[in-house]
Amino acid sequence: MRAAVSLALALALAAAPAQARPGSGALKFAQLGPDLPTPGETRLASGAPGPAYWQQRADYRIDVEVVDAERPRIVGRERITYANQSPHELTYLWLQLDQNRLRRDALGWLAETAPGFERFGYRELQRLLAMETFEGGVRLGPVLVDGKPAAHTVVHTMMRVDLPRPLAAGRSVQLDLSWEHDIVNAKVIWARGGYEQLDEQNRIYTIAQWYPRMAAYTDYQGWQHKQFLGRGEFTLELGDFDVRITVPADHVVAATGVLKNPEEVLDRAWRDRLAQAAKAKSPVLIITRPEAEARAAAAPATGKKTWRFQATNVRDFAFASSRAFLWDAMAAGRALAMSYYPPQAEPLWRRFSTQAVAHTLEVYGRMTFEYPYPVAISVNGPIGGMEYPMISFNGPRAEDDGTYYDRAGEGKRWKYSKYGLISVVIHEVGHNWFPMIINSDERQWSWMDEGLNTFVQFVAEQEWEAEYPSWRGHPRNIVDYMKSTEQVPIMTNSESILQFGNNAYAKPATALNILRETILGREAFDFAFRTYAQRWRFRHPEPADLFRTLEDASGVDLDWFWRGWFYTTDHVDQALVGVRAYELDTRNPAIEKPKAKAEREETYVSVTREREAKRQADGFVPRLNRFPDLKDFYDDYDPDAVTAKDRADFEKFLAELEPEERAALETQRHFFVLDFENRGGLVMPIILRLTYEGGEREVVRLPAEIWKQDADRVSKLFVTRQPIVRVELDPFFEIADADVSNNQWPREPVKTRFQLFKEKRVPNAMQDAAAAEKQAAEDAAKAAAPPSAAPPPAATATRPPPRAPRSLSLCACVS
């Protein structure tokens, strides 16, 4: 006969948990299939491009001149060869005219809402005033299709060109355009390209989105002609570029692609140094500071030079031009890492920029695929941070005195900080992968390039130095945003995002970091992430392709993760709400009766009982003791005494057990049930650190699937050899838990600091007037007094050196 072995509750250490909701996990773990585009032969269910995948191609031949005048402008002409590689017949083409965003009647300008006047700055007012006079927008010449004039219609920042006859699948067409537009002062009017006035006769031009570009035509969208309102960036087709850039003769040009006429535009010494840099392991100055300063100080050249660049398989082209550039370069794998910057950027740029470029190529190459282009360039100028194929514009530089901040922060600290520069260079150069090569739709999904790029940037930053102060990527840094009410899901169109930096950059980057460190592990995640990158390089991925590939390559169902992090605004708040300790009832009266007595005496506490005991100790005699005849059987009866019957019953109980049951009864184990609540809504793994009575620690990781049936409350049994004396939930801050005050047992006090407040003086107009009158009288008396003899020289005293300001942390550097 088998006897039941019961687990009797010995001690409850917390109140009963909140009400459970069985079945609530079904929604959290519902598969994403119905919400994603239906896979097919173009895009497979595995997340890979299918055998029917196609994309368009656009090749460009451009001649452009930068007119460096009081009113600087771009004048250009181009020929686009557009190849229809889709299976569809096209009757018109769409092009992007991004410079129309700077027209005063631009859709994006008119759609701007009023600023917050609590922090209305000088820069904002200057921008508004400058827009009153700046003549923005593209001025188009004739538009030709295969050499003949074509009808065309401009719709804000897009232009439709009507084809004289349909463009069949597999056929190509040539478009010829000429245009010009003014160049914006990017230090006054915010833009993604423009110029900076360094001094009276020197400018830096960073030229981007400067030519009519083909819009993308894809299998998932058709024509992507959503208007450029200023935030959602670009969706473009890949192709080859042959670009001739005419600038003043004393300018130096950095651009997408390879310089094809160095003998015509570079000094012999520069060419020699460039050859040396191609083999160097640290930056080599191609143009030195004395050379740059001499050029900048000389009278501007009256002649012109034309620089020719060619780029293969890129989606865009940008360039920079100035007579004030220093230039350094070094080898970075099979590419050349280079930086262009004015003397004002020293010493920050010479020390860090090109090294940061090389570091980016190294880390991103390992995380995805080797950098495929011949050059990678970082340019200092008026743009805080902007990316294009092979070239990026980055703003941070040193203060005028050559000093700079160490850690980046908001406003001025970011503009003049060491880590601000390193981080922005890594980020913008990293954009060569996302989205320049992994060619996602920026106009629709900002996070697909910004979020993925910020994640790999975080990896690169952590490999730059120990304890690198990354802004984004650490789970604890995203908590305040995730528990805020001012947010929308990541899967929101670029123009409708609230808190753009947190939504499109920080949250997806943090999500991927958690996926790598906590859910999949580095090995599995890195393989899956590389698979996605290699599948979709030089192609157009969609969000579903990323989601499906990471599941396909990792072998882990992640639909719950994508749904929670990308489709909702839930946050993580796990709470440890109960710890219950259970003991196994051995049924042995010699063990259980003394134990029950000790527990009863320990728990039976009464203030009356305590005080009556003290009275008896002080001499009071209870009535029962004064009248012995009141005593009966029960006054001497001990219910906790072990009787012969107790022993016989126990022996009978043991005899009825199977050997394995008897062995189980004799086990020496402790049973703890931990109760958890999901208060934030986002299901995540439960990570615990248990401390045992002997001091030993153990980390336990429970998968997110523990919430699969009840997403609000779960309990977990732990069977241990030693009693648990301490429990810590999320001990390494790896899941972005919003409230850590409920993450420990026993509970810990919430620690914080406060400052003493000194009441400020309330202005007193009478006192202020009297003080001013007294000061005026003293000043008048001093002015009327005859000049006195010079005082004797004071004794020489040793003065302590001046102290640095306590409120700033500056890194003084020698140029």
Q: Output the 3-class SS for 673-712.
A: EEEEEECCECCCCEEEEEEECCCCEEEEEECHHHHCCCCC
Rounded distance, CA 675 to CA 672, Å?
A: 10
Residue at which a domain ends, from 635, 665, 695: 665
d(CA 394, CA 392): 6
CA of 480: how far to CAs of 373, 499, 738, in Å? 39, 12, 7
DSSP per residue, 175-193 = EEEEEEEEPPBTTTS--SS
Cα distances (Å, whole numbers) of residue 449 to 442, 504, 568, 579: 7, 9, 20, 44
Closest CA to 376 of 349, 348, 339, 341: 339
Residue 726 included in any domain: no
Q: Is residue 293 part of a domain?
A: yes
49-58, 77-86, 236-245, 748-757: which has the minimum mean pLDDT?
748-757
User: Lowest-pLDDT range, 138-142, 458-462, 483-487, 587-591?
Assistant: 587-591
Mean pLDDT of 215-243: 93
Among 617, 638, 665, the domain boundary falls at 665
H or E stretch covering 449: helix 447-464
pLDDT tens for each residue of 643-688: 999 899 889 998 998 999 888 888 889 999 999 999 999 999 999 9
Rounded to 5 degrees, φ, ψ at 87 are -85, 10
Question: 608-623: per-residue pLDDT in tens?
Answer: 988 988 999 999 999 9
Task: Using alpha carbons, select from 401, 419, 286, 386 the residue that is nearest to residue 346.
Answer: 401
Chain segment 143-172, per-residue pLDDT in tens = 999 999 999 999 999 999 999 999 999 999
CB-count burial class (<10 Å; 0-12, 13-18, 19+) for 624: exposed
Number of helical H runs and strand E runs in the chain? 23, 34
- Domain assignment present for residue 564? The answer is no
3-class SS of residue 300 = coil
What per-residue confidence (pLDDT) applies to 803? 38
Q: Return the pLDDT at 791.
A: 56
Question: What letter represents residue 211's amino acid?
Answer: Y
Q: pLDDT digit string (tens) for 315-362?
A: 999 999 999 999 999 999 999 999 999 999 999 999 999 999 999 999
Most distant pair of Cα atoms in the chain: their distance? 130
* pLDDT at site 797: 42
Q: Is the peptide bond before 703 cis (omega within 30 degrees of 0)?
A: no
Query: What CA–CA distance (Å, rounded) separates 293 from 288?
Result: 9
Number of domains the chain is built from: 2
Tell whether omega for the bond before 746 is within 30 degrees of 0, i.e. cis.
yes
What average pLDDT is seen over the chain? 91
Domain extent at residue 649 = 587-665
Contacts of residue 6, Cβ cutoff 8 Å, sequence gap at least 6: 585
Residue predicted with more confidence, 287 or 793: 287
Give the integer Cα–Cα distance in Å for 595 and 598: 5
Question: Does residue 341 form part of some domain?
Answer: yes
513 falls within a domain = no
Domain end: 665, 696, 728, which one?
A: 665
Q: Shortest CA distance to 159 belongs to which of 140, 178, 183?
A: 140
Q: What pLDDT, on the 0 to 100 scale, is given for residue 410?
A: 53
* Model confidence band, residue 812 (pLDDT cutoffs 50, 70, 90): very low
pLDDT at residue number 408: 56
- The three-state secondary structure class of 212 is coil
CATH number at residue 70: 2.60.40.1730
Could you tell me if 191 and 136 are in contact, meaning their C-beta atoms sit under 8 angstroms apart?
A: no
Residue 304 has pLDDT above 80, yes or no: yes
Residue 806 in this model has a pLDDT that exceeds 60: no
Lowest mean pLDDT among 167-181, 419-433, 799-813: 799-813
Asked if 810 and 403 touch (Cβ cutoff 8 Å), the reply is yes
E strand or H helix that includes residue 392: strand 391-394
Whole-number percent of the chain with pLDDT over 90: 74
pLDDT of residue 681: 96
CA 375 – CA 331 distance, rounded (Å)? 9
- Pairing label, strands 213-214, 90-96: antiparallel
- Phi, then psi, of 766 in degrees rounded to 5: -65, -45
Q: Is residue 785 part of a domain?
A: no
User: What residues have CB less than 8 Å from 108, skipping those under 6 apart?
Assistant: 101, 157, 227, 228, 229, 230
CB-based contact 28:711 (threshold 8 Å): yes
What is the distance between the alpha carbons of residues 371 and 460, in angstroms, rounded to a whole number?
A: 15
Nearest in space to 65 (alpha carbons), one of 143, 141, 179: 179
Residue 793, pLDDT score: 55
For the segment 489-514, the average pLDDT, to the nearest whole number, is 95
Cβ neighbors of 34 (< 8 A, separation 6 or more) are none
Instruction: Write the pLDDT tens digit of every residue in 72-98.
Output: 999 999 999 999 999 999 999 999 999
Residues 75 and 64 sit within 8 Å (Cβ to Cβ): yes
515: amino acid identity, one letter: L
In this structure, are residues 399 and 416 in contact, taking their beta carbons and an 8 Å threshold? Answer: yes
pLDDT higher than 70, residue 183: yes
Asked, for residue 211, whether it belongs to a domain, the answer is yes
Could you tell me if residue 805 is inside a domain? no
10 Å Cβ neighbour count for 97? 23
